[in-house]
Amino acid sequence: MSQKSYDESPTLYLIPTPIGNMEDLTYRTVEVLKMVDVLFCEDTRETGLLLNYLGIKKKLIANHEYNEEKNHEKVIQYLEEGKMVGLVSDRGTPVISDPGYELARYVIEKGYNVVALPGATALIPALITSSLAPMPFLFYGFLNSKKSKKEQELEQLKQETSTMIFYEAPHRIQETLEIMRKIFGDRKISLARELTKKYEEIYRGTITEILSNPLELKGEMVLVVEGNKEKKTFTNLSLKEHVELYMEDGLSKMDAIKKVAKERNMKKSEVYDIYLSEEEEK
Ligand code: SAM
């Protein structure tokens, strides 16, 4: 199903708002904020302040994670009436670690246009100032706040070779970095806080270097972490560990053995025999 975004038919606009610096509003964002008939927003007070600053009066409807589902039909109703609908979150780009994903999906399923305005988001400035490889990257958003769940999530990410981007609350950053060092090893990271604001600050170094210096643990933070650089050589893995790594990724034992044989330039049967003997040694 294709969409012609600018055919003037009823549209849901996904509208980014500043992550700290009001000057980051684009001309187009302001025009679209003026043009839409109704604005769904995470917090009507927050959006009210923004619109006040811009001198715009608009009908606001609260759309937070608890009532997002109920709002689906409301949005469709407006679109059926030929209205233009906007969606904003409190900060940055909606949908990105913010409400909006289900709504946008629903509106697309119903055959209406969904248009995204490019604009402020915290992950891209954090990534491109990190001095870590910008591509490929994996945006993870928030890790689980429970320590045991966080550990599980990080275990699953341990072999990830892409640069990883996390959002994290300031009161959890120290613990997260310590868990990360335990699970990932002492990787290079970049910690960007208060992006676009007066006290913007970026810490770059290994996890140990960052933790051994006094950290300002206030404000909003994005953590960028170097991907696993060891995976390709496998020199640090036994053959059994190598096979099990792929099994953990979801491959069957035979497929994992096949893949390991190819990567190590060995015969499948040879890998199988060594794997079995290492298994028996356990
Ligand atoms: N939708 C937003 C975006 O596009 O980036 C993110 C919203 S999410 C609920 C809030 C998280 O984004 C914060 O906890 C922090 O990790 C990150 N964040 C937002 N503003 C930031 C800023 N000015 N500096 C650093 N991180 C920021």
Residue 65 CA, ligand 1 centroid: distance in Å? 17
Domain coordinates in residue numbering, the chain:
11-116, 123-225, 239-280
- Which atom of ligand 1 is found nearest the CA of 192? 25
For 123-225, the fitting CATH number among 3.40.640.10, 3.30.950.10, 3.30.420.40, 2.60.40.1660 is 3.30.950.10
CATH topology of domain 11-116: Cobalt-precorrin-4 Transmethylase; domain 1 (3.40.1010)
pLDDT at 233: 61
- The finding on whether 222 has its CB within 6 A of some atom of ligand 1 is yes
Nearest C-alpha to atom 16 of ligand 1 is from which residue?
A: 167
Q: Count the neighbouring beta carbons within 10 Å of the beta carbon of residue 256.
A: 21
Nearest CA to ligand 1 atom 20: 19
The Cα–Cα gap between 196 and 120 comes to 10
Report CA 230 to chain centroid distance, whole Å: 24
Q: Which residues contact 133 (CB under 8 A, 6 or more apart)?
A: 163, 226, 227
Residue 142 Cα to ligand 1 middle (Å): 10
What burial letters (b/e) apply to 83-106, b meaning 16+ CB within 10 Å? ebbbbbbbbbbbbbbbbbeebbeb
Q: Is 87 in the pocket of ligand 1 (CB under 6 A)?
A: no
Residue 249 CA to residue 256 CA, distance in Å, equals 9
Span 28-50, pLDDT tens digits: 999 999 999 999 999 999 999 99
42 Cβ closer than 6 Å to some ligand 1 atom:
no
The list of the chain residues with pLDDT below 70 reads 231-233, 235, 282
Does the CB atom of residue 25 touch ligand 1 within 6 A? no
Please work out whether the CB of residue 194 comes within 6 Å of at least one atom of ligand 1.
yes
What would the pLDDT profile of 107-135 be if each residue is shown by its tens digit? Answer: 999 999 999 999 999 999 999 999 999 99
Amino acid letter for position 162: S
- Find out whether 22 and 75 touch, Cβ atoms under 8 Å: no
Query: Which atom of ligand 1 is nearest to 120's Cα?
Result: 4
**In sequence order, what are the beta bridge partners of 205?**
189
Instruction: Answer whether 95 contacts ligand 1 (Cβ < 6 A).
Output: no
